[in-house]
Structure 1
Amino acid sequence: MRLSFLEPLYKQSGPFASVYLDTSRDSAVADPDAAIGLRWRHLRDALTSEGADRGTITAVADLVGSDMEVPGTHGQAVFTAHGHAALLDELPVPPARDTAHFGTLPDIMPLIAQHAPGIPYLAVRVRYGGRHSTDATGTVRVDAEAGVWPLTKVAPGYRLHEEIPAGDWPRAARVIGRELEGHARRIDCEAVVVAGDAWARGILVNRLPAPLRGHVTTVEGTGDAVPGRALLEQRLESLFRGRMAAHDRRLLDVFLAQRAHGAVTAEGLPAAVAALQRGQVRALLLNNHPESPLRLWVGPEPGQLALTEEELRSYGVQDVRRERADAALTRALVGTRAELVLVPEREARVHEGVGVLLRCPLPRGGQDAPVA
């Protein structure tokens, strides 16, 4: 996973307020705004107890519940610094529990976890409105969306909508296929999910450009269309559950292959810290343990992290703080443009939950070796 979406956050200095809360607006709650307000009051008290100032509290209060246009179940992540918004993001799934933290570094791992697996995809729904395939008066309605799962649940991507006379559908399907290929190329699409009427769906799939056809999965039915939510959301949920993005899978495979041969990998918190201090990390592989007690000492700069206060001070760093290890590691990754791979333990366990894929020595051409 590339962490460039966090760069604006780390361009600011702390301390940060980090707030995660359920901001669902669905039929299960009679007065969702009142429920959100009650949740925020509890979190406000938690921030105050951790030393948050009045400006910080006001800045968070102005942002909490501002996602009124997002329907259904979801959550919100709010980060502020020095009385100003630092980052605001919608969560595809409500947090397991509402939390608030005020500290030197933002509590960012719950947000990253909700960005995973980060699968770029195309969803296409084809509906035929005639009585049978030879009904020239019927129409074929096409809806398509290009997105990244699961973020598209709450932040819909590019949408296409076309209504085409049934008699023109075989020709029009080829044109639409070429348009879809362009959007797929822009997002580096790895899955094309096509649902709907079997006749119209079959014509479209058979006329898709070859690069797309190799990624197609067809599903039955058309799904309910919910404004503001992902097209074919429930079917995508079933299809992508437990799946890693192809890019992250390749990085994991490289790490496991190199580990098996004793090559350029490392495991454990000390090895990860040492590699990040030297800017040698290509990708950090993490078994996400939100309950982990591991802590690191950090300074003002991303590469200033250490296992002990004494080590960090020995480098001449005077302003030091003790923070969650995952928060310190994430800031260092963003600062060095390294990647993060969240690895389910069923896929691989790494020592202390942390594995490192080191940057390979540069070949003579001066470029990083490509991912296998």
Structure 2
Amino acid sequence: MDLAFLHPLYEHPGPWASVYVDTSRQTEDTGHERRLTAQAMAGQLADQGADQETCRAVQGAIEDLRRSSDPHGRALFARDGEIVLDAALVRPPQGGDWAEWASLPRVAPLLDLAGEDPLCVVAYIDRKGADFELRNALGSQEAGVVSGRQWPVHRTSTGGWSERHFQLRVENTWEHNAAEIADALAVCQEETGADLLILVGEQRERRAVHERLPKRLLGRAVEAPHGAGSRLLDEDVERIRAEHVREQTETELNRFRAARTPDGEGRAGAVEGVPALVEAAREHRIDELLVRVDGPDAHQEVWIGEDPSRLAVRRTDLQAFGEQHAWPARADDALIRCAVATDAPALAVSAQEVPVGGLGALLRWK
């Protein structure tokens, strides 16, 4: 997950209000329920020591969600009476709505609730062209239309000496249209940065387009087994998206497993455990952060300074580095702040044997 969107959260010191709101339930009483949620979240923050201005800002932002059609939820981050970041979630927060007031924004849940959401171009293909649709967990939108040659596109028995000539013209039309669709798909993928291309249509038409895609896109293209009119197509798309996430995660975990073995110079390319990660973060060596949100190390307390790279396992260690101010923070949130500062991505992992404790990192040495 690219963490660049979190930069605004680290441009000012804390403390911070972090609020996760479930908007997946839509009823006739949604407006009233949102108002009750807004009051409850503001009350929780006030009980934890948040200032009145920030509580009011959070309450107002949640009340505004009564008009929202978000299918899953929102994460709100506020300080000094201002909502600094309002992030859409791709799945509802576990356990429902909750709020926290702490020295750092509570961003680690975003890795699971807002990350790894593959963007897809769904291409509805027929012999005359294709319609493109962009899809992710938050919905869909039209992404273009390709109109190929319109005649001849159907094989028919014409009779007489011209039948073979006619059939060849049909084949040529199909091939031309498939090439046009493939070219347009390549442009659409480049412009949108889509992770996947999902081809929908008759098998021969899907295959004709698939075979004409540029080599760089062949690993991103998948043919859906059901057509546009099938009620199973949505399930196909979600299955393909989930498989893509699993494959990407497994690839990174395999990299992590391999990198734990020291090289010829005795340097490992991966570390796990809070002390080793804190040291790597101080030295700006985290290349990719791996986080299991429910891992036992995630909520371990560390100490942070004003600079993201100023962190330590013990407060006295931070003082020894010359830091005048120190605040306690969760290890996962402190390490994510360091990753944001050095433009390192983060990956949410599920119940795996690695990293031990739930926190790990691939390292950079140059």
TM interval, short-chain normalised: 0.7 to 0.9
**Measured at CA, do residues 69 and 49 of structure 1 come closer, stay the same or move farther in structure 2, by a change above 3 Å?**
closer
Superimposed CA distance per residue, residues 103-147 of structure 1 (whole angstroms, 9 cap, x where no aligned partner): 211010111222332435432233x5xxxx7xxxxx7652332x6
Contact 1:24 1:94 in 2 (8 A): yes
- Residue in 2 that maps onto 1:274: 279
Aligned with 1:241: secondary structure? helix
- Residue in 2 that maps onto 1:235: 236
- Residue in 2 that maps onto 1:144: 133
Question: Are positions 1:154 and 2:138 aligned together?
Answer: yes
Contact 2:72 2:90 in 1 (8 A): yes
- In terms of mean alpha carbon deviation, does 4-13 or 249-258 score higher? 249-258
Distance 1:159 1:25 in 2: 29
Q: How far is 1:251 from its partner?
A: 4.2
Q: Which one has the largest radius of gyration?
A: 2
In structure 1, stretches of 5+ residues that fail to align are 134-138, 226-231, 363-372
- Residue in 1 that maps onto 2:322: 316
Q: How far is 1:25 from its partner?
A: 5.5
Distance 2:217 2:304 in 1: 46
Contact 1:223 1:234 in 2 (8 A): no
Superimposed CA distance per residue, residues 172-215 of structure 1 (whole angstroms, 9 cap, x where no aligned partner): 44223212102323555543212234455444334434443443
- Residue in 1 that maps onto 2:91: 93
Q: 1:181 aligns with which of 179, 186, 194?
A: 186
Distance 2:318 2:150 in 1: 70
Superimposed CA distance per residue, residues 295-339 of structure 1 (whole angstroms, 9 cap, x where no aligned partner): 111122211211111111222223211111111111111112222
In structure 2, stretches of 5+ residues that fail to align are 154-172
Code of the aligned partner of 2:111: I
- Residue in 2 that maps onto 1:6: 6
Distance 1:2 1:332 in 2: 13
**Measured at CA, do residues 286 and 239 of structure 1 come closer, stay the same or move farther in structure 2, by a change above 3 Å?**
same
Contact 1:293 1:324 in 2 (8 A): yes
- In terms of mean alpha carbon deviation, does 184-193 or 90-99 score higher? 184-193
Distance 1:67 1:177 in 2: 41
Q: How far is 1:354 from its partner?
A: 1.8
- Residue in 2 that maps onto 1:62: 60
Contact 2:133 2:141 in 1 (8 A): no
**Measured at CA, do residues 255 and 207 of structure 1 come closer, stay the same or move farther in structure 2, by a change above 3 Å?**
closer
**TM-score w.r.t. length of structure 2:** 0.80
Q: How far is 1:93 from its partner?
A: 1.3
**Measured at CA, do residues 76 and 191 of structure 1 come closer, stay the same or move farther in structure 2, by a change above 3 Å?**
same
Question: Are positions 1:217 and 2:206 aligned together?
Answer: no
Q: How does 1:226-305 map to 2 (within 5 A)?
A: 233-241=234-242, 243-244=244-245, 249-261=250-262, 263-289=268-294, 292-305=298-311
Code of the aligned partner of 1:117: E
Superimposed CA distance per residue, residues 12-43 of structure 1 (whole angstroms, 9 cap, x where no aligned partner): 322211110112354xx232222222222221
Distance 1:195 1:323 in 2: 48
Aligned with 1:24: secondary structure? coil
Q: How far is 1:259 from its partner?
A: 1.4
Distance 2:189 2:206 in 1: 18
Q: How far is 1:250 from its partner?
A: 4.7
Distance 2:183 2:100 in 1: 48
Distance 1:202 1:98 in 2: 46
Code of the aligned partner of 2:102: G
Distance 2:187 2:246 in 1: 20
- Residue in 2 that maps onto 1:352: 357
**TM-score w.r.t. length of structure 1:** 0.79
**Measured at CA, do residues 214 and 100 of structure 1 come closer, stay the same or move farther in structure 2, by a change above 3 Å?**
closer
- In terms of mean alpha carbon deviation, does 59-68 or 243-252 score higher? 243-252
Distance 1:69 1:175 in 2: 42
Aligned with 1:77: secondary structure? strand
Distance 1:329 1:15 in 2: 17
Q: 2:334 aligns with which of 328, 347, 353?
A: 328
Work out the number of aligned pairs and report it. 337
Q: How far is 1:269 from its partner?
A: 0.5
Code of the aligned partner of 2:347: V
Aligned with 1:2: secondary structure? coil
Q: How far is 1:76 from its partner?
A: 0.8
Distance 1:67 1:80 in 2: 16
Aligned with 1:303: secondary structure? coil
Distance 1:320 1:116 in 2: 30
Contact 2:303 2:328 in 1 (8 A): yes
CA root-mean-square deviation: 3.1
